[in-house]
């Protein structure tokens, strides 16, 4: 089934994970500065297309490196500011970025798959309706986050195995954001 049957318009919200979806994930490490941030191929074009379709685009990102003391919140905010500026320059828009600096062991409501970041987003944008939202991420945790809120979920992965193992959490599978954008 493809996403076109959903009739997505400006009343819909797109939630995106960051590392591994918007930018290249650093294996066994964290993006700690703008110099380490690298958009994945096609992402800026995809965000331009999403801006034409969705009413809001929200990034929700676990940033455990802060909790580990490998970077601070000012570093994360600076990366997000530059990311949003680059997307704007490319004709797209990210309306807001929410992140959790908490360690996995903290069990914070703000850390995905818990829904705190989505509730914070809806507090800032009261017109968000989770049943008219899409969550695109590269982990099962992202998919659980979306499903807990009754969003449509899109796994961004070259590997179809998670979709076979967790079909209850994953509605759609695309290899990258530009493929998702082209499907809309």
Residues identified as active-site:
17, 19
- Strand, coil or helix: what is 20? coil
Report the chain's C-alpha Rg in angstroms: 15
Helices (H), 62-115: 64-67, 73-89
C-alpha dihedral, 175 to 77 to 57 to 67, nearest 10°: 60
CB atoms within 10 A of CB 182: 13
Report in angstroms the alpha-carbon separations of 49 from 42, 101, 102, 180: 11, 30, 32, 10
Q: How far apart are alpha carbons 179 and 13 in whole angstroms?
A: 18
- Give 79's contacts (C-beta < 8 A, 6+ positions apart): 31, 33, 34, 37
Q: Angle of helix 43-53 relative to helix 73-89, nearest 10 degrees?
A: 70
């Amino acid at each position: 089934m493809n996403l076109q049957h959903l009739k997505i318009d400006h009343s819909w919200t797109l939630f995106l994970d960051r590392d591994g979806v918007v930018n290249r994930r650093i294996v066994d490490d964290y993006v700690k500065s703008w110099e380490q941030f690298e958009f994945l191929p096609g992402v800026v074009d995809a965000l331009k297309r999403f801006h034409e379709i969705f009413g809001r685009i929200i990034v929700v990102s676990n940033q455990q490196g802060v909790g580990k003391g490998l970077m601070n919140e000012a570093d994360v905010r600076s990366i997000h500011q530059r990311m949003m500026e680059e997307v704007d320059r490319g004709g797209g828009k990210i309306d807001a970025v929410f992140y959790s600096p908490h360690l996995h062991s903290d069990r914070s409501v703000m850390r995905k798959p818990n829904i705190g970041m989505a509730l914070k987003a809806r507090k800032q944008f009261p017109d968000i309706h989770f049943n008219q939202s899409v969550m695109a991420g590269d982990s099962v945790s992202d998919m659980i986050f979306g499903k807990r809120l009754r969003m449509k979920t899109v796994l961004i992965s070259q590997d179809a195995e998670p979709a076979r193992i967790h079909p209850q959490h994953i509605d759609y599978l695309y290899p990258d954001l530009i493929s998702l954008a082209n499907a809309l």
